[in-house]
């Protein structure tokens, strides 16, 4: 349930109202926008007398929110959320380019790629240390050693870093990681979501291979309901009957999510297509339709990559995409 407050409501009146509602065991969340202030009530609102609440001096109107996602809902928070990722902002007009290899392989590789993508305008460095692989016989990532190398690349370039957390027991290793990625395969690992919800780290939450947008938002809700509101959503392609591409990039998700939620939406054209040749055009399309960021896999030698080489761009190809992306952003702004 939300109560839209009148513009003249004083802090004292708002605080009285909020205390009264909290006494009914409700969580009260205030979102102050330029034109309206929205008071969101989370919990069992069946005991709230909507008519009484709506008749109060400072209340403009009261509305029930039927969607099961509450804190992620744009109705609760009309303004776009801006998430600070180690000094780089995403959302609400701030756009970020995330680039780097699928997996961290060697010190030379990660630092080399980091320097190259930074030079080409990337804002955040990506690289997997703990890799969710379909086959147990495939390269599983360098684990803790990989994280150390990623931190070296962060130090060498000054770029914030994003990397995937698969197991909550590894959380201590992520102390200096700027953004925690929750991969598509763990989008509905609810225990993991609850645990990272108790941290204050920005979370890049990737859409599951076969999950609806509402399910994605319910997963964001798991994180937010534990107190962590720093969630960035990522569209990375979904499973369809099409086999020509690795997944099917659902670009309408960007606009649809922007209607449903205030959280930023990033597009990953690399995992969505699985083909380096398709990444540039899909990156441009994502920017054109209003994505708040893009994430692209870049490898110094894609043919020799230990993971996802077929969809990885070379640093030179990334440089070209980056220029095009910036031009498109200017055009659609």
102 near Mn ion, rule: CB under 5 A: yes
184, 193, 286, 305: which one binds ligand PEP (CB under 6 A): 184
Which segment (40-48, 95-103, 134-142, 247-255) binds Mn ion by CB under 5 A? 95-103
Q: Which does 183 bind (CB under 5 to 8 A by kind): ligand PEP, Mn ion, none?
A: ligand PEP
Per-position DSSP letters for 20-70, written without gaps between them = HHHTTT-EEEEEE-SS-EEEEEES-GGGS-HHHHHHSTTEEEEE---SS--
Structure tokens given for 1: 């349930």
What residues between 126 and 145 interact with ligand PEP by CB under 6 A? 128, 132
Residue 124 pairs in a beta bridge with 98
Residue 90 near residue 291 (C-beta atoms within 8 A):
no
Distance CA 271, CA 36 (A): 39
Distance CA 324, CA 309 (A): 22
Q: Which does 148 bind (CB under 5 to 8 A by kind): Mn ion, ligand PEP, none?
A: none
Structure tokens given for 317: 């190809």
Minimum distance of Mn ion from residue 103's CB (angstroms): 7
Q: Which does 229 bind (CB under 5 to 8 A by kind): ligand PEP, Mn ion, none?
A: none
Which segment (29-37, 179-187, 222-230, 325-333) binds ligand PEP by CB under 6 A? 179-187
Which segment (46-54, 183-191, 255-263, 321-329) binds ligand PEP by CB under 6 A? 183-191
Nearest CB to ligand PEP, comparing residues 164 and 221: 164
296: left (phi over 0), alpha (psi -120 to 50) or beta: beta
Identify the H or E element spanning 97: strand 96-100
Structure tokens given for 303: 């043919």
Q: Which does 236 bind (CB under 5 to 8 A by kind): Mn ion, ligand PEP, none?
A: ligand PEP
Minimum distance of ligand PEP from residue 75's CB (angstroms): 28
Nearest CB to Mn ion, comparing residues 102 and 110: 102
Minimum distance of Mn ion from residue 270's CB (angstroms): 7
Per-position DSSP letters for 189-204, written without gaps between them = -HHHHHHHHTS-S-EE
C-alpha torsion angle, residues 54, 60, 66, 68 (rounded to 10): -110
Distance CA 231, CA 220 (A): 7
Distance CA 78, CA 37 (A): 9
The three-class DSSP label of residue 180 is strand
1, 2, 102, 217: which one binds ligand PEP (CB under 6 A): 102
Structure tokens given for 45: 């609102």
> What character string, x for contact with ligand PEP (CB under 6 A) and - otherwise, covers 225-254?
-----------x------------------
What residues between 278 and 317 interact with ligand PEP by CB under 6 A? none
Which segment (33-41, 181-189, 258-266, 319-327) binds ligand PEP by CB under 6 A? 181-189
206, 246, 262, 299: which one binds ligand PEP (CB under 6 A): 206
Minimum distance of ligand PEP from residue 277's CB (angstroms): 19
DSSP 238: B
Identify the H or E element spanning 99: strand 96-100
What residues between 281 and 320 interact with Mn ion by CB under 5 A? 308
Q: Measured at CB, which residue is nearest to Mn ion?
A: 102
Terminus-to-terminus CA distance in the chain, angstroms? 34
Where on the chain is the footprint of Mn ion (CB under 5 A)?
102, 308
Binding interface with ligand PEP (CB under 6 A): 102, 128, 132, 183-185, 206, 236, 271
């Amino acid at each position: 349930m939300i109560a839209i407050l009148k513009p003249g409501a004083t802090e004292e009146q708002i605080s009285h109202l909020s205390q009264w509602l909290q006494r009914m065991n409700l969580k009260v969340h205030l979102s102050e926008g330029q034109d309206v202030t929205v008071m969101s009530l989370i919990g069992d609102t069946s005991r709230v007398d909507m008519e009484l609440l709506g008749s109060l001096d400072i209340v403009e109107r009261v509305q029930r929110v039927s969607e099961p996602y509450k804190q992620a809902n744009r109705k609760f928070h009309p303004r776009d959320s801006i998430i600070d990722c180690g000094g780089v902002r995403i959302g609400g007009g701030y756009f970020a380019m995330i680039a780097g290899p699928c997996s961290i392989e060697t010190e030379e590789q990660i630092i080399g790629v980091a320097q190259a993508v930074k030079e080409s305008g990337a804002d955040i460095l990506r690289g997997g240390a703990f890799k969710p692989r379909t086959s147990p016989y495939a390269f599983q990532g360098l684990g803790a050693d990989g994280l150390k190398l990623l931190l070296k690349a962060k130090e060498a370039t000054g770029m914030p870093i994003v990397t995937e957390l698969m197991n909550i027991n590894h959380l201590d290793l992520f102390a200096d990681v700027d953004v925690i990625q929750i991969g598509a395969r763990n989008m509905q690992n609810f225990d993991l979501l609850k645990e990272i919800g108790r941290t204050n780290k920005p979370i890049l939450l990737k859409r599951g291979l076969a999950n609806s947008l509402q399910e994605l938002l319910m997963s964001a809700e798991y994180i937010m309901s534990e107190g962590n509101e720093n969630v960035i959503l990522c569209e990375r392609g979904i499973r369809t009957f099409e086999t020509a591409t690795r997944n099917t990039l659902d670009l309408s998700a960007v606009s649809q999510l922007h209607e449903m939620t205030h959280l930023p939406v990033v597009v990953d054209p690399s995992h969505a297509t699985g083909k380096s040749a398709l990444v540039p055009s899909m990156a441009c399309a994502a920017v054109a339709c209003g994505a708040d960021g893009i994430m692209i896999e870049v490898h110094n030698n894609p043919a020799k990559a230990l993971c996802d080489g077929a969809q990885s761009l070379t640093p030179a190809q990334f440089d070209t995409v980056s220029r095009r992306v910036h031009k498109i952003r200017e055009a659609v702004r």
